[in-house]
Structure 1
């Protein structure tokens, strides 16, 4: 080999030059790679002096302002999570859950904190941490525990409706015609029972008409002429039909008006006027099930609309709905049925967020320490 090197000095120089260039290229690639990973790392492990942008909305008891501090189940859990992971943050308050999702999608926020439901539709555009609270939808209604006076007032309102009033007017008009016809045929041949005077005779005839309608006839009183008896036969047959129609109309009206307040589960909601928070998962579900949805700005607005009789029920996340109804201390407000459309709350993140794994590890650690249980007792008075 030494002889070859001495014999071909140009070849030796070429090999040395090629190795030098290769080493330089490898060094350059290493420098570029280190620079690249150095730029990416601060996003996952927050760069000094920067703060995460946390989007939230005011929704008791998960995130709300009290005595100048942000408190609530989700807000306090996030605060402990940020201290566990060493992350600093600043809060920006938005109006709805949809605004939180949009902020993450548009990358104007890094984390969404609150009662944010994990759904397949949202998972397509953002990421979520591990769930920290299991919830679901539930129904709030008004009624069932009112006073006797309230019950009687509701019954009177049911009776005085256009359908029943129309049936009574039709019956009265028919009775007046029958009474007039019976008097016309009878007063000439049966003056003792049907006086000649139209006013007195019509009253006697009307008494016979009512008696026939209610009990099938009047004692010691009845038409004796052919014309009068024909009218009497027609009236007896007609009264059977009219009583049946009136009874059916009365029963149907009372049943329908009673059922308007008889909501015991999700199956009773289609066709009913139901309030919920605008843009929520509850609104989507109610629309799909055929309910008449009344979307309002806040849960408080929904509950007040129910109290005022503007809607027949409120459907929203069970813990939030129960918390809001409890604040009013109204015995007529009742949570009915079991939770349905079960869902989980989690912290929302940008799509492919490098924070996800770090937050999940810290969440598991806090869960093992019983932090979630303490917050549950504090805000819901229950232990999981």
Structure 2
């Protein structure tokens, strides 16, 4: 009898718990129980300017809420500690849904649920533009190969002028109005060759003319060698600079900066890239500017918007894509909100209204909104 009573109490407990949950679910989104919407502040997905929220994720949520006649309240969140945000959503009643650049991952799926994706993003790397500065060019110019060629040019030039002077210094320059003008001395000859636009004293002896022809051939060969060597060294320097941050192998050697708690950091480490964790994008930029890291791992649209907003023309997004990334709304496990959110996202994608919305914030990347 006691066992029966205990079983009945247990059944009644579960029955009333389920009924209470269903009642709360029906009431969720009402004035009495507005939906607690956590907003991760990262453009182009979400921002808060003087209490006015906007962005791709915010605009999509506003439309879904309007379709379902939901009452809701925005709660600004920082993406610096996503683990804390996920834990709050999963284990407390402070949040019912989280919107913004929320990436889907297997680890997060163990404790929370996700809507269908509304944006196909990618994990990329912010890098310096591959432009060689004056110090890089100076380093190339003082390389051993170029120095050897320049020394050969100077010695051959000195030899040419010396031989020319030996054969012609006693001769009178032909073609001058005053035939008594003597051939210039060696110092004057060097001065005339280096600084005078037009050479007035042409060789008059056969030996001098032969030496002049040989000098023209040798000088052309040396200048060609200098140009080829400099071009080759410049190409190699650009390749090495680009390879350091423009290839997966280079990033694996040099490392990147990443914001603590971001999904991007997990992706970078999964690809074998050492990550220096920092608190925000400004700290990561400082490390990049000091060449402490080769780049900054970031969600690609977030990176593009940041560079555009801050006019960082010296930085760009590397062509390396570490991983494709699905951006969704995060909800509690078995949340009654998920199905309604999925219906809203699907209907917007079916009538092609998501792409124009995205174009407002992303520009040319807008086609990636439509899955």
TM-score range, shorter chain: 0.5 to 0.7
Alignment CA distance shift 1:139-1:92 (3 Å): same
Whole-angstrom distance in 1 between the partners of 2:239 and 2:347? 52
Post-superposition offset of 1:255: 7.3
Post-superposition offset of 1:284: 1.6
Normalized against structure 2, the TM-score is what? 0.62
Equivalence for 2:90 = 105
Whole-angstrom distance in 1 between the partners of 2:255 and 2:321? 19
CA-atom RMSD, angstroms? 3.3
Is the partner of 2:101 in helix, strand or coil?
coil
Task: Kindly tell me the number of residue pairs found equivalent between the two proteins.
Answer: 263
Asked whether 1:144 is paired with 2:130, we answer: yes
Asked whether 1:73 is paired with 2:95, we answer: no
Q: Deviations over 1:38-78 (max 9, x none)?
A: 52333333354111111222212211112421111111211
Alignment CA distance shift 1:335-1:36 (3 Å): closer
Is the partner of 1:347 in helix, strand or coil?
strand
- 1:265 pairs, out of 247, 263, 287, with 247
Whole-angstrom distance in 2 between the partners of 1:278 and 1:158? 39
Post-superposition offset of 1:80: 1.4
Contact kept in structure 2, 1:134 and 1:345, CA below 8 Å: yes
Alignment of 1:305-324 (within 5 A): 305-324=287-306
Equivalence for 2:108 = 122
Whole-angstrom distance in 2 between the partners of 1:54 and 1:369? 25
Asked whether 1:333 is paired with 2:320, we answer: no
Whole-angstrom distance in 2 between the partners of 1:370 and 1:257? 43
Post-superposition offset of 1:346: 0.5
Whole-angstrom distance in 2 between the partners of 1:46 and 1:364? 24
Post-superposition offset of 1:100: 2.1
Equivalence for 2:26 = 45
Between stretches 125-134 and 106-115, larger displacement belongs to: 106-115
Q: Deviations over 1:322-356 (max 9, x none)?
A: 11112233333122214331110100011121221
Alignment CA distance shift 1:360-1:156 (3 Å): same
Is the partner of 1:381 in helix, strand or coil?
helix
Equivalence for 2:45 = 62
* Greater C-alpha Rg: 1
Q: Which consecutive residues of structure 2, in runs of 5 or more, have no partner in the other structure?
A: 1-11, 145-232
Whole-angstrom distance in 1 between the partners of 2:76 and 2:284? 21
Asked whether 1:89 is paired with 2:75, we answer: no
- 2:273 pairs, out of 291, 306, 316, with 291
Alignment CA distance shift 1:353-1:315 (3 Å): same
Whole-angstrom distance in 1 between the partners of 2:140 and 2:127? 19
Equivalence for 1:132 = 118
Q: Which consecutive residues of structure 1, in runs of 5 or more, have no partner in the other structure?
A: 1-30, 165-251
- 2:324 pairs, out of 327, 336, 342, with 342
Between stretches 341-350 and 77-86, larger displacement belongs to: 77-86
Whole-angstrom distance in 2 between the partners of 1:331 and 1:283? 24
Post-superposition offset of 1:158: 8.8
Whole-angstrom distance in 1 between the partners of 2:48 and 2:54? 6
Equivalence for 1:380 = 362
Post-superposition offset of 1:159: 9.9
Q: Deviations over 1:299-331 (max 9, x none)?
A: 344234423434221111111111111223333
